[in-house]
Amino acid sequence: MNLKSKEIAPVSFTNRAVKVIRSYFPILEWGPAYSRQTLVNDLVVALIVSIMLIPQSLAYAQLAGLPPEVGLYASMAPLILYAIFGTSRSLSVGPVAVTSLMTLAAVAPIAAQGTPQYLGAAMALAFLTGLILLVLGFLKLGFLSNFMSFPVMSGLGTAVGIQIAAGQLTPVLGIPSGGGTFLAQIISLVKNCGQINVYTAAIGVPAFIFLLLVRKNLATLLTRAGMGKGLAGILAKMGPVFAIVITILAVQGFGLDKQGVKIVGAVPAGLPGIALPPFNFALWSQLITPALLIAIIGYVASISVAQTLAAKKRQHVDPDQELIALGAANIGASLSGGFPVAGGFSRSIVNFEAGAETPAAGAYTAVGIALVALFLTPLLYFLPSATLGATILVAVLSMVNFKVIVKTFAYSPTDAVAMAMTIILTLTLGVIFGLIAGIGISLMMYLYRTSRPHTAIIGQVPGTQHFRNVDRHEVVTSARIVSMRIDESLYFPNARFLESRVNEIVASNPEVKHFILNCSAVNAIDASGLESLKAINLRLKDGGIAFHLSEVKGPIMDRLKKTLFAQELKDRIHFTQYDAIYSIDPDLAKKTMDEKRV
């Protein structure tokens, strides 16, 4: 028997080890079943996404204040690493609008754009972002993203969209730029509006209109012409490629670069080398807070897209493993001369609609971008910055959503305040400060709401054993018995409130002899809550009133049983509210249950 146990143990250990390894390397799950047909499908998807990703990568590098080739570098290694570590079959990782703007906001105060120090700081920011994501992933702390409330995320998206749009009017119109915040940008635009470069505007404005029309109407027109909905949508998303080709030909053909139209110029051909970011304590201390915020924002945006697309195909996405995958992607971006990356919504949608079957499609996309970096960068020489600005401008307009503020205000004014404050502070003080303030406001409002929870005096519904709010339903009560329901867990912010509320109710009901606290909505009681319950019990006892608890949930009851408080109440902790009333006044409980419900 002992011999068999010794033989089985290693097998069991090996199985566990394999399971752990597979959990950290999802490629081992889908890789062995990879077929020739899956390869063909993923290659087709990669071709489509590569064509779409090239203009986006160039544009987002410009938005981050970096040379255009850095956008290509940030779109290679991250895709390959995500294919190894990621659990989403459709998520496409690379530069995105929000992280690009946050990179600019974090690095611009540290170094001048166009300098090696600026690029080094951006690489260090990506490295720090990756490290933070990896730590969160290994510690299984994906739940921390839940602290990013919808109002804050929505408000941040709207504010970032407005700020990016205002900033891109500069390259689109050929106006001298100025200012890092929305207000500074607007002031600069007003001051310099007389310096519009007509030739630049002649490129940028038509490009913007073309991209806008393509984005909104091309898919519908192609569908009406008989094209499949999926293919029509993909072609519509490739509008930036058409705009790039047309405007390059226009600039080169008419010599517009000699008329003041700013162009990308020489883009170095070749693949990025492996380079370490600067390991400077002073620099890292300046970047740690922005890196943390970029990590959280990038993760929240990425996991939302990944889970939405996975649900459509009944696939599973592991939130904690996604932290590790995004961490590896950002470290890969850093080591290859890039800047922070995240999952892109539009690229992921194209991935999904084109039929990506595995994350390998992303790795093939990286190969496609690498081929462009090796052989096609000379073709980008005459690419006008106005076209890249128009590309960004159209992309971020979808982020601006004022209707949601009105809807949120109608449903929850306090959440609307958090959303509005996030927008205002982001536009006036910058994206990083606005995000921190938005999170702080949301947490403060949460604490305020939970510190003053809803309470209700409840009575028995005739003909039933149910109890409801006396202000909303026709119920039966007794002058000798007060039953109160509290609709919140009992913890330190609301413990004193509960004591005050009980004192208030008892003072207004002089005939009361029994006070029942209905705990059906209480999911937790911390040490402060327990002390308040003890205080309530003593005060009621001194006033000749018996204190009861009803409908205490199992996990809470398990903890209460370990305390003297539970022993003091003895048989005054009741399984149901009806049991509590029955133990005090059985005739009333029976009579009410036998009555016909109105």
126-137 pLDDT, tens digit each: 999 999 999 999
Q: Where are the alpha helices (DSSP H) in 36-110?
A: 36-63, 68-73, 77-85, 97-107
- The 10s digit of each residue's pLDDT in 308-366 is 888 887 788 888 999 999 999 999 999 999 999 999 887 888 788 777 788 898 899 99
Separate counts of helices (H) and strands (E) for the chain: 27, 8
pLDDT of residue 179: 66
Across 433-457, average pLDDT: 87
H or E, element range at 567: helix 564-569
pLDDT score for 216: 81
Q: Give CA separation, 426 vs 28, 141, 400, 568, in Å.
A: 43, 27, 13, 54
Is residue 7 pLDDT above 80, yes or no? no
User: Is residue 86's pLDDT more than 80?
Assistant: yes
pLDDT band for 402, please (50, 70, 90 cuts): confident
pLDDT tens digits along 470-522: 999 999 999 999 999 999 999 999 999 999 999 999 999 999 999 999 999 99
Residue 33 corresponds to which tokens in the numbers above? 């079943």
Q: What are the helix (H) ranges across 193-228?
A: 198-213, 219-224
Of all residues in the chain, the percent with pLDDT exceeding 70 is 95
Instruction: Read off the pLDDT of each residue in 378-399 and give the average, rounded to a whole number.
Output: 88
Is the torsion defined by CA of 58, 62, 64, 65 positive or negative?
A: positive
CA distances for 528 relative to 18, 108, 187, 439, angstroms: 45, 46, 52, 25
Would the pLDDT of 18 be above 80? no
| Residue 243 in this model has a pLDDT that exceeds 50 | yes
Give the lowest-confidence range in 16-25, 216-225, 264-273, 288-297.
Answer: 16-25
Q: Indicate the Cα dihedral angle 549, 554, 557, 562, nearest 10°.
A: 170
Least confident of 16-30, 259-273, 554-568: 16-30
What percent of the chain has a predicted confidence (pLDDT) above 90?
51
Q: Which of 59-68, 113-122, 298-307, 310-319 has the lowest mean pLDDT?
A: 310-319
Model pLDDT, residue 533:
96
What pLDDT does residue 299 have? Answer: 92
Does the pLDDT of residue 13 top 70, yes or no?
no
pLDDT above 80: residue 10: no
CATH number of 455-594, picked from 3.30.750.24, 3.40.30.120, 1.20.120.420, 3.40.630.30: 3.30.750.24
Helix (H) / strand (E) containing 549: strand 546-550
Class of residue 430 by CB neighbours under 10 A (exposed 0-12, middle 13-18, buried 19+): buried
Q: What is the pLDDT of residue 249?
A: 95
pLDDT for the residue numbered 459: 96
Kind plus residue range of the DSSP H or E element containing 19 = helix 2-24
- The confidence score (pLDDT) of residue 9 equals 47
> Measured between alpha carbons, how far is residue 183 from residues 63, 427, 542 in Å?
17, 7, 62
Q: How far apart are the first and last CA of the chain?
A: 71
Which whole-number Å values give the CA distances from 175 to 64, 101, 154, 490, 522, in the listed order?
A: 18, 20, 30, 58, 59
Q: Tell me what pLDDT residue 178 has.
A: 66
> Per-residue pLDDT averaged across 529-551, rounded?
96
pLDDT value at residue 458:
97
Res 441 pLDDT > 90: no
Which range has the top average pLDDT, 178-192, 260-274, 502-516? 502-516
Residue 12 pLDDT level (bands cut at 50, 70, 90): low
- Distance between CA atoms of 124 and 377, rounded to whole angstroms? 26
Adjacent-strand bridge partners of 7: none
Q: What is the pLDDT of residue 42?
A: 87
pLDDT bracket for residue 455 (50, 70, 90): very high
Task: Say whether pLDDT at 5 is over 80.
Answer: no
Mean pLDDT of the chain: 88
Q: For residue 6, give both structure tokens.
A: 């010794």
